[in-house]
Structure 1
Amino acid sequence: MFWPVLATVAIIYVCNATLAIRQMRNFSTTYILLRKHGKVAIGKQKNALSRGAIVMFLLDDSDRVVAGRRMNGITVLARFRDFPAFDGLPVKEIDPEAVRTDRGTQRAIANARDNFLTVQAGDVPVEPPTPLMKVVNRVDAKVGHSRKRPAATTQHIVICRRRPTAAD
């Protein structure tokens, strides 16, 4: 009984790894195709038990959306598809609520817009929390910071000495 179960688990693992590699290749191919034509804004929304989403927008020189692609789904079978909902709009005017789609895709759209605007401002975009960190943050918010940290028993004294200069 042990060997058939082990063989089944191994076959499932190999199939999952193969499909994940194909999905990563699809992401890379789509990104490279869009990147050849201009700037690309990417947004993502990770979920553990519900649909995740990745959105890519090809932008022209005036930061208007030329083409959009999206991938959403639960499994490694998801692939990128055309997403023309925001074609022609400036990135600043993208409103995720304007499109009837699932919440994960709406969050990915907002993340793409925010990431692009953050990069335009010269900052580094913040990575969205992973599903595990979302759970940890929810538990932390409910429980709160009830434990108190002990006060420091020693004081740190910093002494700064001025170097002698030629005038001294």
Structure 2
Amino acid sequence: MNTMAIIIFGFFAFVLQYILTFLQMNKFTKHYREFRREGRVAIGRYSGVVRAGVIVLFLIDGKGVIKKGKYVQGVTVFAGYKDINKSFTGKYVGGLTQEDCKAAHYSKSLTQAVMDARNNYNIITSGGTLPERKSPFGRLLDMFKFRSVKKDN
């Protein structure tokens, strides 16, 4: 009987995760579409392992100047989108610096997401393609490969 209870619990946990992920993606899509209707969008993200993850959306004009921005920061799918400080409005997204984020008193993870948006914008406008990021499982495997190679030497 315990095995059946574990299987049922696992099934409901999977369904709950699917529903919550679906809701989170709908929130992102809503805000992305809102920005896309008004112009181009620069997106940056920071995947936190210990810290909360962050996604940044900048609405930019044809010259790369920020009109407005939003970000979501949190550990759970219940985190809500917030407007970015007006200090970025009117700045060139490709020229943002960490000092700009420090002046706005942003956290390290939010600063990393803003820098990622800047880097993504610069790569795309120069005609490049964004490198594909490894999944958390892929990064974990790389850590073990590096440690095993290090021990062999």
For the superposition of Structure 1 and Structure 2, which TM-score range results when normalised by the shorter chain?
0.7 to 0.9
1:49 Cα deviation (Å)? Answer: 4.3
Q: Is 2:112 the counterpart of 1:107?
A: yes
Cα contact 2:94–2:121 (8 A) shared by 1: no
| Cα deviation, residue 47, structure 1 | 3.0
Q: Is the 8 A contact 1:51 1:74 kept in 2?
A: yes
Name the aligned partner's letter for residue 34 of structure 1. Answer: F
2:63 aligned with 1:62, yes or no?
A: yes
3-state SS, counterpart of residue 36 of structure 1: helix
Deviations 1:99-125 (A, max 9, x none): 433332221111110111111111112
Tell me, what secondary structure is at the counterpart of 2:43?
strand
Name the counterpart of 2:10: 9
> Aligned with 2:38: secondary structure?
coil
Change (3 A) 1:145 1:6: closer
Q: What's the offset of the Cα at 1:146?
A: 7.9
> SS of the residue aligned with 1:81?
strand
Q: Is the aligned partner of 1:89 residue 2:88?
A: no
Distance 1:130 1:100, change over 3 A: farther
Cα distance in structure 2, aligned partners of 1:135 and 1:4: 31
Q: Which moved more, 1:38-47 or 1:71-80?
A: 71-80
The 5-angstrom pairing of residues 13-162 of structure 1 reads 13-84=14-85, 85-96=87-98, 97-98=101-102, 99-139=104-144
More divergent stretch after superposition (15-24 vs 125-134): 125-134
* CA RMSD of superposed structures (Å): 2.6
Unmatched segments (≥5 aa) in structure 2: none
Instruction: Provide, for residues 42-94 of structure 1, a one-character-per-residue CA deviation record: whole Å limited to 9, x for no partner.
Output: 11122344311111100023311111111122222223221134222111331
TM-score in terms of structure 1 length = 0.73
TM-score w.r.t. the length of structure 2 is: 0.79
